[in-house]
Structure 1
């Protein structure tokens, strides 16, 4: 359970950092640029903590997949990024891929414990 808490913190930090990356306008605005550095630092710190509790393939699949999906949704909602059936389908496929990677890992973990 601790691993998933660290993973959630890591994902939230990464998504916040990515959002502020857009707002930093190519690192020309100081405050958003600082938030980017702090956010990515926290994201990788907590991803490292996650790996002490979860397998690498599972943790990274969830981290990158959920982070990508959330970033796409935030882009559409806050930054008026274009939305299309392709974007929606892509998000669905990301979530499905993470679910597929998660299912075998849970079964293997239960067998090895």
Structure 2
């Protein structure tokens, strides 16, 4: 499987794990706590597979950028954690950075 496919799976697993982490209430709720642990294990394993063919800096930049954007969107919907204008601008800049890496960087090939 190509590195970017592994990275995509890693990001999805990390977003699920982070969402469950919030729901775990400090690891007081069993099911979300288990989902968190399993999700992070899957995320890091898949990220390690991505790093076999994609440079570590690119993997981490895309991982963190996309993860931040997705978690922010989920927090907005599920937990009503609404951003102000500077927050939205910051998230937009993060997203723009990921797009620049994907579209213009030869390091992802």
TM surpasses 0.5:
yes
CA gap of 1:34–1:109, structure 2 versus 1, over 3 A, is closer
Distance 1:97 1:76 in 2: 21
Contact 2:102 2:108 in 1 (8 A): no
State which drifts further: 11-20 or 84-93.
Answer: 84-93
Q: Does the residue aligned with 1:63 lie in a helix, a strand or coil?
A: helix
Displacement of 1:91 after TM fit? 1.3
Q: Deviations over 1:52-98 (max 9, x none)?
A: 11011111100000001100011001111022112211111101122
Q: What value does the CA root-mean-square deviation take over the aligned residues?
A: 1.7
Query: Unpaired segments of 5 or more residues in structure 1?
Result: none
**Higher radius of gyration, 1 or 2:** 1
User: How far 1:103 moved relative to its partner?
Assistant: 5.0
Give the aligned length: 109
Name the residue aligned to 1:33. Answer: 33
Structure 2: 5+ residue runs without aligned partners? none
- 1:70 aligned residue: 70
Normalised by the length of structure 1, the TM-score is 0.88
Distance change (3 Å), C-alpha of 1:43 and 1:109? closer
Residues 8 and 91 (structure 1), Cα distance of their counterparts in 2 relative to 1, 3 Å cut: same
